Structure 1
Amino acid sequence: MLAGNSAAGSTVTVTASNLRSAEGVVRACMTTNPARFPKCRGDAAAYSVVVPAGKTVTFNFTNVKPGRYAIALLHDENDNGKADRALMMMPTEGYGFSRDAKVRMGPPKFDAAAFEVGTANQSQTIEMRYML
């Protein structure tokens, strides 16, 4: 359940709250690459974690190198590995972003969710949101 590169670094603890069910999993990724946010696909330096869902879940990104990061969460209720969508491309599953960055006509930009990681451990609390 812990993810990260092998070099020593800090720990970023994430608490995701307000999940609507304990069905499925929470998929999380953390990246320094604005072009790969929010999916992190194709970013070999991204950190990722998958944990069982619950009303609230807490997990760690470990061995995090200092830098400017953004986190994206998906409550993958049916555990199919993707964000399901309804008509008009509205997400049917929950999502959340570091700094509780808001969604407006699509996911937030990297800068809205970005935070600095140094050598000290830190935590982020992210409220899950659901459109449907």
Structure 2
Amino acid sequence: MRHRPRAFPARLIAAPALALGLSAGAVPGGVDITVTVTDVRSAEGVVRACMTRDPSSFPKCRGVDGAHGTVVAAGKGVTFVFRDVKPGRYAIALLHDENSNGKADRAAMMIPTEGFGFSRDAKVRMGPPKFQDAAFQVADKPENLSIRMRYLL
């Protein structure tokens, strides 16, 4: 006589997950994405960072569901962490807001006077890069990224 493996009733598997506030198949929490910013020209002001998975909101992500944002003091060695990031495709935009006024200042002809940077060192051509040029994949392990700050003036 051949024995078949015993299947556990779904309710026995799902009950602990539901007790923890998880849905079936959910991954608890997320991973940390550590970002190191290089080539910051001064310690004036702050570095503003946003990370989004919504291509239509990139490079701005204020008020976007699932977006991550942070503001850290500027300096030569800027590092920060986006915590509990769910798996998916994301892009990061940085601004060195040297005068801490909450916006990207521009000179004549809309040329940025403050620093900026993008994940994957995405190139800037007559405006910010497209989401797909800056996008990277977040899986189930922590990531360490380096983003170079650039200045046009």
> What is the TM-score with the length of structure 1 in the denominator?
0.93
Structure 2 unaligned residues grouped into runs of 5+: 1-27
For residues 73-101 of structure 1, the C-alpha deviation after alignment (integer angstroms, 9 at most, x for no partner) is 00000000000000000000000000010
Structure 1 unaligned residues grouped into runs of 5+: 1-6
Partners of 1:112 and 1:100 in 2: how far apart?
9
- SS of match in other structure, 1:111: helix
1:41 shift after superposition: 2.4
Answer with 1 or 2: which has the greater Rg: 2
- SS of match in other structure, 1:104: coil
In structure 1, the partner of 2:48 is 27
In structure 1, the partner of 2:24 is none
Alignment of 1:20-59 (within 5 A): 20-59=41-80
1:42 shift after superposition: 2.9
| Higher fraction of helix | 2
For residues 31-88 of structure 1, the C-alpha deviation after alignment (integer angstroms, 9 at most, x for no partner) is 0000000011231210001000001200000000000000000000000000000000
Partners of 1:116 and 1:25 in 2: how far apart?
27
Q: 2:149 aligns with which of 114, 128, 131?
A: 128
1:126 shift after superposition: 0.4
Contact 1:36–1:42 (CA<8 Å) still a contact in 2? Answer: no
Instruction: Give the count of matched residue pairs.
Output: 126
In structure 1, the partner of 2:19 is none
Letter of the 2:91 partner, please give it: A
Letter of the 1:130 partner, please give it: Y
C-alpha RMSD over aligned residues? 0.8
Letter of the 2:148 partner, please give it: E
Letter of the 1:62 partner, please give it: R
Contact 1:71–1:98 (CA<8 Å) still a contact in 2? Answer: yes
Verify: 1:65 aligned to 2:86, yes or no. Answer: yes
Taking only the aligned residue pairs, the percentage that are identical comes to 67
Alignment of 1:4-23 (within 5 A): 8-23=29-44
- SS of match in other structure, 1:79: coil
